[in-house]
Amino acid sequence: MADNTYRPGLEGIIATETSLSYLDVEHEQIVIRGYDLIELATKVDYLRVAYLLVSGHLPNDEEYENFVRQLNELQNIPKQIYSIMGSLGKHVQLMDSLRTALSALASFDPAVDHRDPDNLWHQSLVLLGTMPAIVANSYHIKNHEPVIEADPKLGYSANFLKMITGKVPDETETRAFDQLLTVYIEHEMPNSTFAAIVIASTLSDMYGALVGAVASLKGTLHGGANEAVMKMLLEMQTPDQVEPYLKDKLARKERIMGFGHRVYMKKPDPRALLMKASLKQLVAIKGHADLYDMCVKGEEVMQKEKGLFPNLDYYAAPVYYLLDVPIDLYTPIFFAARTAGLVAHVREQYEHNRLFRPRVLYTGQQGLHPQ
C-alpha cells in the first residue's frame, strides 16, 4: 500500500540510493565514498577528491598525473561561449551567465546524448576542466575586463584563483582555496543535486542536468547564503556592532544567513569548523583580525539567542573575502566545486535509472462542472 504521508519539502524522505556520500550526523562525519570529507580536505587536494567521486577510488600517482593532464587538455573554452556571455544584458547575474554558458557548452559536444561509460567520463572531465574558466571569466566579462586564460603550469586550485584575481596565489592562499573547493565538493542530496538527478532520470544529457542544478543553486535558500553572509559582515563593520546588529534583525524576525541547516540541527556543520580554522590561519598572515573576531562573536550570539550553529557558508564567506574573491563569485565558485559531486550523481543515476514521478496530496475541489 502506498504511503500517503505528506512531508513538506520532502524532509526526511529517502529519495534514492547512492554510494557517493552520506551525512552521518550521529558521528559528525560527511562520508565521501567511505572517507571522512574533513580528513580528505586536510590530507589530499581537491582534484584527488574529485577523482575519488567520479571514479570510485583515490588515485595513485600515475592516475592522478593522467587526470591532471586530461583536465589541462580540456580546459580551453570555445571563444563563442565568451561571446555569448558578453552578449547578455548588463543586469545579468553571474549564476545566470554560468547557466547560459553551461547550456551553450553542450552544443559543442557531438556526443551530447551518448551515455556510454567512456563518453560520460569524457563529459565529466570537460565539465571539471572548463568550469573554473567559465566561472572566473563570467565576472571579468560582466565588468568589461579582459578574459584571463587558464595557466596549465599551475595546479587546478591555484590556476582557478589566479583566473579570478589575476595574481598567482602563494602556498597559503592556494591551500585555503583548495580546502574551500574540497568542502563544497559533495554533500549527499541538497536541492541542486536532487534537481540534477531528477533531470537525469528522464535520460536528458549531463549538461542539461547541471544546468538545472545551477538554477537551483542560484536560490538564496541554497547557494546564495555565502554572499549574504559577507555582505552582513561588512555591514556590521566591527566586533562591537555584531551583537546589537544581530539582535535587531532577530527582533524584526529577519533571517540570519549562515546559521542553521536542514540536516545539522543539533550539532555544528563540520565543514564550518574547518573553515573557521582556515580563516584563523589566513588572518594571522594577511591581517583583518577584526573579521575573525566578528565571526566568533556572531557565532556566540546566535548560539545564545537561537541555539543555532554556523553552517559552511558562515565561515567560507570571510575566507573568500581574504583571498580577494569578489562577492558576486562566491556562489558560482560553490557550483564549480560541486561539479565533481554533480557529475558523479548524474552518472550513478544513469547506471541505475528509474524515472522520478512522485504523487501529490490534493487539496483542491472536486465534482465541479462547466456551465
Terminal CA-CA length for the chain: 38
d(CA 218, CA 99): 10
Q: Answer whether 275's CB lies under 8 Å from 175's CB.
A: no
- The SS3 call for residue 310 is strand
* Catalytic entry in 45, 269, 313, 345: 313
Q: Is 261 a catalytic residue?
A: yes
- Starting at the edge strand that comes first in sequence, how are the strands of the sheet with 29-32 ordered? 21-24, 29-32, 35-36
Catalytic residue among 140, 261, 269, 345: 261
What's the angle, vertex CA 91, arms to CA 162 and CA 140, rounded to 5?
15
Return the DSSP state at 86: H
Active site residue 313: yes
Q: Which three cell numbers stand for residue 97?
A: 551567465
Handedness of CA 312, 318, 319, 323 (dihedral sign): positive
Q: How far apart are CA 174 and CA 171, in angstroms?
A: 5
DSSP output for 103-130: HHHHTT-TTTT--SHHHHHHHHHHHHHH
- Residues designated catalytic: 261, 313
